[in-house]
Amino acid sequence: FGSSFCHKLEQEFCISIGRQFNDVVFPLNMKENSTTPFLDEVWEIPATAPLTFTVGDSVYVQGHGPARIKGICAKGQYDVEYPDGSYNHLSATVLKPHLRDNTSSPRRREQARLDCLKPAADDPTRKFQIVNAFLNLACTMAGGGMLSLPYAFRACGLVIGSMVLVVSGLASGLTFDLLVSLSRADGSNSYEDVVGSALGTRFRKLTGLMLFALTYMCSIAYLVLVADLVSPVVGWCCFEVTRELRNSVMIVVMLFVTPLCLQPSLSSLRIFNMVSLMTVVLVAVAVAYITIPSLGVPHLVWTQSADGQLKSQEIWATMRWWPEDWVNAVYALPLFALAYMAHFNVLPAMAALHRPTRWRSRQVVIITLTFCIFFYAFFGVVGYAYAGDLTCGNTLLNFMPNSPLLTAMRASLAFCLTINLPLLILPCRSALHRLLPCLQSELVPGVQDVLSCHSVNSVHSVHVYERGAEDSGACDFFLPKVAAATLPEMSTAGRVAVTLVLVITITILGCLLPSILVVWTLAGSTTCFVIAFVLPTLAWLRARGAAAKVLRRAAAWATLVAAIACMIPCTVLAAYRLDPDPCPN
């Protein structure tokens, strides 16, 4: 009792002389709308002897957040290390077990698990119900990449294609859940912060590089896809479809979106994500409407040559159960993984979820992945059933270019993808801003008035809850201890210059690439595998794996090993096949 009483007196004395944040041990709670700490009965001094810890244990420090035991100084006295590398000498009375530990005593295992949330569970900005979070993630997933799934089924066959589609969905669901688990362990609410907290600064930079590469390649893919969608429409009403016409469409599209790309932010355009999802669903319905009557009878299938020429031939479409060429099957694997790419949006969606219990977060993941697996399977099989061995990398190329129904669908989808282009180019520009020092002024440490911002209502505070009791209110809060800096905004001249460089290079590469398959396979085999499977599992195994349940740890290891095993041959094949035809001969 004496040790705890002296410790509390030291807290009040430190606050009175305005000691720096890293040296202040804040008391547990503060009165609402006040910055003056006070002592209360929430964090009770246990009647029994304090818990004992060993070196390496994960602990929660009252008022400071997660830490790790680095040394034992004396009985009940420990040296702890915070995420930013700073140390503190503390008594066991202000420590609580934080994460599961295989070596924990039964008494430690009985302690309530703690979840760290930012913003608070009852924050008014948390407006998403489960259905809203599901729509947010589904809009991110179901985009232009879905149009290549029929080709993936053609390459893999129905059996292998269905298995890979389901396994990719389950693996994505697992990595979604691992990211949420890491986020709730320390209050990080972005992909880069979660990976950086678990793996260090170098991996944070690697994540930024992967984000830049992914958004850059997806911008090229969307531009090529828009040209593939618009060219048949223009050819039907005005001109002959040629490679020059296709390139002209790309240039016109980029000229249209460049003014939008020059803006500092485009948050108002995110409503088109929902419009894009609705358009994709309507495209699937239209494809099924045309395909079903043609099953079992000869019908016309259209293809596009490398020079942009469209031609048709009458076929009796058949589907294969197994791959005809296993090399082509491996080449198509990234298309399945890319279809579930929404990992950067998972944590922002969970940060907006109302009543963010662990079970409700998992419900969002389960509902989203279940919908996408069945929807992708339906669209992939229907598109493959129509064209058979002539299925193109963009399945809409197989359908009659002057069909009124599909012309309307092509035009609608092309408009949505065009509007979504700036939503890819702006994150690409931001990632480049963070990566290149020449685009930044000197990083200025984020110095703040600690006493004024360390309050319950601070937007920087992470709130701590006992798992399963989020509705009962926070039991503590803290300011994150991370080695971070405030990145100045890009100047107007710099923003214009970088945007124009991105727009010009994206247009040039889009005009040079003959097929959408080149971009999707390159993006899927490199950045997609790393972002979707390698980094989340590696971060979780580093931070939580040693103390996790055996089955969960085995699933994470299996996902990591399988992702690396697939990434190497897929990358080699994608680099080898840089000029595939948009459609089979």
Express each pLDDT in 200-255 by its tens digit. 888 888 888 888 988 898 899 889 888 888 877 776 666 666 777 788 888 999 99
Span of 276-285, 399-408, 453-462, 567-576 with lowest mean pLDDT: 453-462
Of the ranges 43-47, 447-451, 457-461, 560-564, which is most confident? 560-564
When pLDDT is averaged across residues 87-109 and rounded to a whole number, the result is: 66
User: What contacts 24+ positions apart, CB below 8 Å, involve 73-77?
Assistant: 76/3, 76/50, 76/52
When pLDDT is averaged across residues 117-143 and rounded to a whole number, the result is: 85
Same structural domain, 148 and 264: yes
- Report pLDDT for 554: 94
Higher-confidence residue: 504 or 462? Answer: 504
Q: How many helices (H) and strands (E) in the chain? A: 18, 12
CB 466 within 8 A of CB 475: yes
The neighbour count for residue 440, using CB atoms within 10 Å, is 16
Rg (CA), the chain: 27
SS3 245: helix
Residue 361 lies in a domain: yes
Domain span at 59: 53-99
* Amino acid, res. 378: F
Question: What's the mean per-residue pLDDT of the chain?
Answer: 79
- Report pLDDT for 375: 95
Same structural domain, 364 and 502: yes
Residue 289 lies in a domain: yes
Same structural domain, 332 and 413: yes
- Report pLDDT for 361: 93
> Alpha helix (H) ranges present in 310-389?
326-338, 343-351, 358-387
The model carries a pTM of 0.80
Residue 447 lies in a domain: no
Residue 271 lies in a domain: yes
Task: Please state, for a pLDDT cut of 70, what percent of the chain lies above it.
Answer: 80
> Above 90 in pLDDT, residue 564?
yes
Express each pLDDT in 498-534 by its tens digit. 899 999 999 999 888 877 778 888 888 888 899 999 9
Residue 195 lies in a domain: yes
Residue 301 lies in a domain: yes
- Report pLDDT for 240: 66
Same structural domain, 91 and 135: no
When pLDDT is averaged across residues 14-37 and rounded to a whole number, the result is: 39
- Report pLDDT for 455: 45
- Report pLDDT for 167: 96
Q: How far apart are CA 356 and CA 435, in angstroms?
A: 33
Q: How far apart are CA 51 and CA 497, in angstroms?
A: 58
| Confidence grade of residue 7 (pLDDT, cut at 50, 70, 90) | very low
SS3 272: helix
Express each pLDDT in 159-197 by its tens digit. 999 999 999 999 999 999 999 999 988 888 888 888 888
| Beta partners for residue 91, in sequence order | 77
When pLDDT is averaged across residues 95-114 and rounded to a whole number, the result is: 59
Express each pLDDT in 471-499 by its tens digit. 777 787 788 776 444 456 677 888 888 89
Same structural domain, 180 and 90: no
Same structural domain, 166 and 249: yes
Same structural domain, 134 and 247: yes
- CATH number for position 546: 1.20.1740.10
Higher-confidence residue: 38 or 463? Answer: 463
Instruction: Estimate to the nearest angstrom the gap between the alpha carbon of 24 and the chain centroid.
Output: 35
Cis amide leading into 119 (omega within 30): yes
Same structural domain, 152 and 80: no
Same structural domain, 84 and 187: no
Same structural domain, 201 and 333: yes
Nearest-10 Cα torsion for 214, 573, 164, 137: 10
- Report pLDDT for 304: 81
| Confidence grade of residue 335 (pLDDT, cut at 50, 70, 90) | very high
CB 347 within 8 A of CB 179: yes
- Report pLDDT for 35: 38
When pLDDT is averaged across residues 410-430 and rounded to a whole number, the result is: 84
Count of domains for the chain: 2
Residue 457 lies in a domain: no
Instruction: Estimate to the nearest angstrom the gap between the alpha carbon of 176 and the chain centroid.
Output: 8
Query: And the tokens for 108?
Result: 């430690």
> Above 70 in pLDDT, residue 111?
no
Task: Please state, for a pLDDT cut of 90, what percent of the chain lies above it.
Answer: 24
How far are the Cα atoms of 280, 375, 398, 521, 556 from residue 379, in angstroms, in the given order? 10, 6, 14, 19, 29
- Report pLDDT for 536: 95
Same structural domain, 84 and 161: no
Residue 25 lies in a domain: no
- Report pLDDT for 98: 73
Close Cβ partners of 553 (under 8 Å, ≥ 6 residues apart): 541, 545
Same structural domain, 240 and 177: yes
> Is residue 304 within a helix (H) or strand (E), and if so which, with residue range?
strand 299-304
- Report pLDDT for 94: 81
DSSP single-letter state for residue 121: T
- CATH number for position 67: 2.30.30.140
| Confidence grade of residue 2 (pLDDT, cut at 50, 70, 90) | very low
| Confidence grade of residue 460 (pLDDT, cut at 50, 70, 90) | low
SS3 for 478-542, per residue?
Answer: ECCCCCCEECCCCCHHHHHHHHHHHHHHHHHHHHHCCCHHHHHHHHHHHHHHHHHHHHHHHHHHH
Span of 322-331, 434-443, 478-487, 530-539 with lowest mean pLDDT: 434-443
Higher-confidence residue: 458 or 63? Answer: 63
List strands edge to edge, sheet with 462-466: 114-117, 462-466, 476-478
